[in-house]
Structure 1
Amino acid sequence: MSDKANPPGDTPRYPIREVSRLTGVNSVTLRAWERRYGLLRPHRTPKGHRLYAREDIERVERILQWLHRGVPVSQVRELLEQPDAPASARPGVDDWASQRQQLITAIEALDAVRLDDLFNQVLALYPAHVCIEKLWQPVINHLEERWDDRLGAALQRRALEAFLRTRIGTRLYHANPQAGPLRVLIAPLPETDGPLWSLLAALLLSEQGHRVQLLDAPLSPQELTLAVERLGADALLLTSGKAEKPDLVKRQLPRLADQLGVPLALCGPVARIRAADLEDTRVAALGDDLPAAASHLNALLAETASDRDQR
């Protein structure tokens, strides 16, 4: 059965799963934009199924452009209805700044109920890559600068890790059976303080349609080789918020990359700090901007898949 649905005498129409694939916005968020804010008006079949025209897809892309500029979703409709509104226009209130402060307050207060509300609310209204770029990554960068060895810092970090491990693990459990064929194995490096970077990377790559296997504790290079083989991974992504030891970065990881039959990539501060050390190796240093890192990894996966098809 084709993913497209074309009502007789009408322009091509697309089911919600296809719009989600084309735009990167999950179906829950698309429905929320329609119900809460009237941003979309899909055609309905007699059975009530949503069908979207090409104009609807273009509208989703314009919505994403405004969201990336920091415009709250509640104010996007007004801008969409002003076709002459300049691309640089934005409201005076930065909704993301407010949400970042609320999230920091909830984490520092160990307020699990508020944290759960914020997590669910933002992911219902925004794609995961927008949430990570505008909310989660700035908050974690801010907290890691403050945590260091302060009393209570370890408690805040571990509580946040436990929260995200549960919520993101649940999402992976439900998303993986419906995901595409490519599998990404994610694991932290030994010196990192915890799996925060791995967890956010897992959330992002899952939204982009990959099957994600998340390991939240470091493994030796030998164990990673075995994990890639046994789990059938198409790429191995290692994360760290630290620089990691020179021997690991300069010798062990390049050797591991030469042995694996799939791409080996790093993301997080380690990939920014150690980029120069990896220039002449098969290890891909993706940097510490998670959405940009995911785009780079997707390109590596596409290249690998193309090479396999040609064999």
Structure 2
Amino acid sequence: MNTPSFNIAAVERDTGLSKDVLRMWERRYGFPLPSRDNHGERCYPADQVDRLRLIKRLMDQGHRPGKLIATPPDELTALMPHRSKQTPPSASPETGELDELLGLIKQHDAAAYQQAMQQRLARQGLQRFVQDTVAPLTQLVGRRWEDGDFEVFEEHLFTELTKRLLRQAIAALPGGPRRPRVLLTSVPEEAHVLGLLMVEALFALEGAECIPLGTQMPLLEIGRAAEAHQADIVALSFSAAFPQRQIPGLLQQLRLILPGNAALWAGGAGVARITRTDDARLLTTLDEAIAALASWHLQRA
């Protein structure tokens, strides 16, 4: 019987592990062990892709790859944290409503999820919807994924449906002259986009002109875009999964590339444990992002 296999580009997209890392592990550790197709290209069986995905999740939790690769597959799952079983959240009406929304994702009922979210948006307004619904939902999904309660395709469904809703809400905001001009993006290897969309929605409500560039933008291109758009602020998002030790160096590099009059802001869970940097303003919460924008307006009033 034919078993599904995946080329190296597909494995890179699926697991978040670069092609160079996959080849290096193959040489150094003897895993993964791809076969070769008729053209000599690597083909990875599904069970190896599943194991690689789990290894990447554990690496994001701080485990070392060499030790993980040497660990038998059935023991890898036991290493995953189970927060919901150790520290169950206290019951509240709001928690229950969020659980119901995630239940629709687990039931794979995209239409019902969209309808429920649209109703919450109409009831709460865009700012409260972002801060009280989308932000905590995103955190819950991340925890459920780490606990193994959410499949990868379910996390992707949540992300895509929520992205669609936020973009529609942002597009419906009134136009007109806006300041500051904020360039929103992320660096290479940072593919999470919901944080950027949440900030874009809140900044647009506060009168900013937001220029979204999507994710994984090369540093030189960020610099060119900031100059071309005459950006007042370049805002980057770093998720908790991004290697924290790389962030200060990236911010330092980007600061050297950006025009001198463009401020550099970095936000998200990835910067939460960085105590200080002279190269960027660090924003660990959405409230801090709103306060930073208000401060920008006050300085130019």
Q: How far did residue 280 of structure 1 move?
A: 3.9
Which deviates more, 219-228 or 257-266? 257-266
The residue correspondences of 1:60-75 to structure 2 (distance < 5 A) are none
Provide closer, same or farther for how the CA distance between residues 210 and 109 of structure 1 changes in structure 2, counting only shifts above 3 A: farther
Q: How many equivalent residue pairs?
A: 209
Partner of 1:284: 281
* Contact kept in structure 2, 1:106 and 1:114, CA below 8 Å: yes
Q: How far did residue 205 of structure 1 move?
A: 1.6
Provide closer, same or farther for how the CA distance between residues 192 and 209 of structure 1 changes in structure 2, counting only shifts above 3 A: same
Partner of 1:298: 294
TM-score by length of 2: 0.61
TM-score by length of 1: 0.59
* Contact kept in structure 1, 2:255 and 2:264, CA below 8 Å: yes
For 2:199 and 2:146, locate their aligned partners in 1 and report how far apart those are by CA, in whole Å: 23
Provide closer, same or farther for how the CA distance between residues 257 and 167 of structure 1 changes in structure 2, counting only shifts above 3 A: same
Q: How far did residue 286 of structure 1 move?
A: 0.5
Q: How far did residue 150 of structure 1 move?
A: 4.0
Q: How far did residue 284 of structure 1 move?
A: 0.6
* Contact kept in structure 1, 2:180 and 2:232, CA below 8 Å: yes
CA RMSD of aligned residues (A): 2.6
1:237 alignment partner, SS class: strand
Deviations 1:68-100 (A, max 9, x none): xxxxxxxxxxxxxxxxxxxxxxxxx95422321
* Contact kept in structure 1, 2:191 and 2:215, CA below 8 Å: no
For 2:296 and 2:195, locate their aligned partners in 1 and report how far apart those are by CA, in whole Å: 20
Provide closer, same or farther for how the CA distance between residues 121 and 113 of structure 1 changes in structure 2, counting only shifts above 3 A: same
Which residue identity lines up with residue 129 of structure 1 in the other structure? Answer: Q
2:100 corresponds to which of 102, 106, 109: 102
The alignment status of 1:254 with 2:248, answered yes or no, reads: no
Which deviates more, 149-158 or 177-186? 149-158
Which deviates more, 243-252 or 229-238? 243-252
* Contact kept in structure 2, 1:186 and 1:237, CA below 8 Å: yes
The residue correspondences of 1:133-152 to structure 2 (distance < 5 A) are 133-148=131-146, 150=148
2:128 alignment partner, SS class: helix
For 1:256 and 1:301, locate their aligned partners in 2 and report how far apart those are by CA, in whole Å: 24
Partner of 2:68: none
For 1:96 and 1:246, locate their aligned partners in 2 and report how far apart those are by CA, in whole Å: 32
Which residue identity lines up with residue 272 of structure 1 in the other structure? Answer: A
Query: Can you give the 5+ residue segments of structure 2 that lack an aligned partner in the other structure?
Result: 1-90
Q: How far did residue 105 of structure 1 move?
A: 1.3
* Contact kept in structure 2, 1:265 and 1:297, CA below 8 Å: no
Q: How far did residue 295 of structure 1 move?
A: 1.7
2:220 corresponds to which of 222, 227, 245: 222
Partner of 1:239: 237
The residue correspondences of 1:1-311 to structure 2 (distance < 5 A) are 94-148=92-146, 150=148, 153-175=151-173, 177-178=175-176, 180-242=178-240, 244-245=242-243, 248-258=246-256, 259-260=258-259, 261-273=261-273, 275-276=274-275, 279-287=276-284, 289-300=285-296, 302-303=298-299, 305=300
2:289 alignment partner, SS class: helix
Provide closer, same or farther for how the CA distance between residues 131 and 244 of structure 1 changes in structure 2, counting only shifts above 3 A: same
Provide closer, same or farther for how the CA distance between residues 257 and 297 of structure 1 changes in structure 2, counting only shifts above 3 A: farther
